[in-house]
Amino acid sequence: MTRTAVIFNEKATPDALVEFKDALSNTLTSILEPWSLEFKTFRKTTKNERSSNSSNIMYSVSFAHHDKGTVLIHDKYAIITTNNSNDIPKDLILNTCSTGTTEPIDNLLALRLSNIWSQRQGIRGDAGETLQTTNLIVRVVNLFSSTGFKGLLIELNSLDDDVSEEEFKISVDHVQTVLKDINCKDFKLSTDRLNFNENNGNRKLNILSDLAYQYIQVLEY
Amino acid sequence: MVQQLSLFSAIDDPSYDLFISTIKTISGNPPVLFANVNTIWNLNPDNEVQQINKKNQLVEPNRIKLSTNVPLDILADSDSSDSQSRAPRQLDYTLMKHLQTDALPVIEGELKSLLKNSGINLTSDSDMNVDSDVKQSNNNNQAWSLSMSDIPAAGTSKKVSIQLISESSILFTDSNASSLTAFMNGLGYILDYSYITVGSKFFFPDNLILDAYKIWNFDSDKSTQLTKGGLLLKAYINVSKNTDIERINQAEKSLLLLQKELQGFVEFSIPDRQSMDSRSEAPDII
């Protein structure tokens, strides 16, 4: 199955993106369309004495790539929503479940549930570069929050649908070496999987929740 | 956000055939059978939820509706005496004529397993024990629609009901427990009640849709039909941009035209807006 990894370097400078791209340029096969990303954190504002074991933090990761999905993660539960009204399953519309217009779930949270969940911080990356090497799709973007530059973020997708864990690790290691070469050392890497069940349902969507989980790992911990 | 403009009415069971042939002529389209299951979630009473958010804006706690389609192949006749083979005689609009009792219009086991695959248990301990069947993971790709709606707009001069609906489509739920219940609990909500809707739907020009349907309260102990003896009629148009005044006016015109056309046979009217209030403290509708 397709494998993913996310790398984040908090100490990088905004220029590191160009350096990274140059360092990688020898191995590129093509340059694909730009991408962007939005990462939000919500904190629960309600008081609850009885069950304090559930997390007070909810994350939302919105992808402008990957079919415009938004993933909402709380504890280890994820739901994947679409922001593209054309992607609403026809069965939902024809059976009166859906009005045919969908909106981002993080909007719903911010708009209608802000008495329970208040948004903490938003991190954005706009107009990122998408680079294709022989075995990876490498997405790079500079992340910004309201206070300024946050760091360099790299998302790796295996090009091959059926790559083994070892093969993917070699590709990821190569990217790490490139990063070290350009003096971009203190990065966090996550290849964690939210769901370990390889046979679980729709893989394309499954990847989205893994990716969102990896974003949380590198951006929050 | 969607503005839904609607008018409601009802007919009794014997009028169904006449209704179908009338609407078929007016709309120029055949009826389409539809079925859905809806779960309504309310705020967990353990949480102290305030009416205002951190920015001191008023945010009224609202119920959340999660709904999904019921595959037509698990529908069943409810007036068939033989409980074993309840397969419908015909899977089209005529099915509605065989759904006049309290019996659920679906094969209950099938529906329960469909819900369970999404992580919704209807038994009363559902909100506690979600982790106990963690391993029962699945190949579940049942999509759900999550929606929250405002109480319909007030005002005595209104000719149709106007309601603002926010909606997000859940394509997939993922976790080791793959549980919508766990997710909703995490969000601060618990399952309140659920119901099934089965009906026929007509498509008109101008995106006008007319649904004739029956509703069953879906409870693991005792299920009842709330529309016994008749069918609810709902004529509605969804305007996808809630600020598009021109299209809202056009939609209102289309609805009023239909209302006029059917006058004398079906009287469409605006429902009491209180009955469409989904705020948390409002009484249960079902």
Give residue-wise pLDDT tens across range A45-87.
877 656 556 788 899 999 888 778 898 988 878 888 888 888 8
Q: Is B232 on the interface with A (CB under 8 A)?
A: no
C-alpha distance from residue B198 to each of A15, A181, B16, B94, B151 (Å): 59, 63, 14, 12, 24
For residues B154-169, give the mean pLDDT: 88
Whether A105 and A29 have beta carbons less than 8 Å apart is answered as no
> Residue B133: which pLDDT band, with cuts at 50, 70 and 90?
very low
Cα angle A42-A204-A6, degrees, rounded to a multiple of 5: 55
For residues A112-133, give the mean pLDDT: 88
Of B220, B165, B233, give the one whose Cα is nearest residue B193: B220
Cα angle A98-B112-B120, degrees, rounded to a multiple of 5: 65
**What's the half-sphere exposure (Cβ side, CA atoms, 13 Å) at A96?**
26
For residues B253-274, give the mean pLDDT: 92
d(CA B64, nearest CA chain A) in Å = 10
For residues A89-95, give the mean pLDDT: 90
The domain that contains A129 carries what CATH number? 3.30.310.180
Angle between helices A165-181 and A16-24 (to 10 degrees): 120
Between positions 133 and 172 of B, the ones with CB within 8 A of A are 137-141, 143-148, 165-172
Q: Do A48 and B48 touch (CB under 8 A)?
A: yes
Listing DSSP states for B108-159 in one string gives HHHHHHHHHHTT---SGGGGT-GGGGTT--------EEEEEEPPPPP-TT-S
Q: Which of B36, B52, B167 sits opposite A99 (nearest CB)?
A: B167
For residues B116-128, give the mean pLDDT: 63
Return mean pLDDT, chain A. Answer: 85
For residues B163-190, give the mean pLDDT: 80
**What was the pLDDT predicted at B129?**
42
Q: Which of A34-48, B181-195, B225-239 has the highest mean pLDDT?
A: B225-239
Listing DSSP states for A120-180 in one string gives EEEEEEEEEEEEEESSEEEEEEEEEETTEEEEEEEEEEESSTT--HHHHHHHHHHHHHHHH
d(CA B156, nearest CA chain A) in Å = 26
**What was the pLDDT predicted at B123?**
60
Q: Is A53 on the interface with B (CB under 8 A)?
A: no
Return mean pLDDT, chain B. Answer: 83
Higher pLDDT, A148 or B48: A148
Tell me the per-residue pLDDT of A196-212, one tens digit each, with 9 for 90 and over.
Answer: 555 555 566 678 888 88
Q: Which of B46, B55, B238 sits opposite A100 (nearest CB)?
A: B238
For residues B90-95, give the mean pLDDT: 84
**What was the pLDDT predicted at A12?**
84
Q: Does the pLDDT at position B25 exceed 50?
A: yes
- State which residue of chain B sits closest to A49, comparing Cα positions: B46
Give the domain ranges of chain B. Answer: 2-276
Q: Which residues of B touch A75 (CB under 8 A)?
A: 182, 186
> Residue A187: which pLDDT band, with cuts at 50, 70 and 90?
confident
**What was the pLDDT predicted at A50?**
61
d(CA A60, nearest CA chain B) in Å = 13
For residues B174-193, give the mean pLDDT: 78
> Residue B130: which pLDDT band, with cuts at 50, 70 and 90?
very low
What ipTM, to 2 d.p.? 0.83
Q: Do B174 and A80 touch (CB under 8 A)?
A: yes
Q: Do A205 and B171 touch (CB under 8 A)?
A: yes
For residues A97-107, give the mean pLDDT: 90
Residue to substitute from A95, A108, A193, A213, interface B, most B β-carbons within 10 A: A95
What percent of chain A shows pLDDT beyond 70?
Answer: 91
Q: Does the pLDDT at position B140 exceed 80?
A: no
Between positions 16 and 55 of B, the ones with CB within 8 A of A are 32, 34-36, 38, 43-44, 46-55
Q: Is A49 on the interface with B (CB under 8 A)?
A: yes
> Residue A184: which pLDDT band, with cuts at 50, 70 and 90?
confident
Could you please state the CATH topology (level 3) that the domain comprising B2-276 is classified under: Hypothetical Protein Pfu-838710-001 (2.40.320)
Q: Which of B69, B168, B183 sits opposite A97 (nearest CB)?
A: B69
Q: Is A95 on the interface with B (CB under 8 A)?
A: yes
Q: Is A55 on the interface with B (CB under 8 A)?
A: yes
Q: How many domains does chain A divide into?
A: 1
Q: Which residues of B touch A205 (CB under 8 A)?
A: 141, 171-172, 174
**What was the pLDDT predicted at A24?**
85
> Residue B219: which pLDDT band, with cuts at 50, 70 and 90?
confident
Q: Do A46 and B53 touch (CB under 8 A)?
A: no
Instruction: In whole angstroms, give the CA distance from residue B266 to residue B230.
Output: 13
> Residue B208: which pLDDT band, with cuts at 50, 70 and 90?
very high
Q: Quick check: helix, strand or coil at residue B54?
A: coil
d(CA B62, nearest CA chain A) in Å = 8
Q: Do A89 and B70 touch (CB under 8 A)?
A: no
* Structural domain containing residue A105: 4-219
Q: Which residues of B touch A113 (CB under 8 A)?
A: 59, 187-188
> Residue A13: which pLDDT band, with cuts at 50, 70 and 90?
confident
Instruction: In whole angstroms, give the CA distance from residue A210 to residue B195.
Output: 33
Q: Does the pLDDT at position B191 exceed 60?
A: yes
**What was the pLDDT predicted at B234?**
95
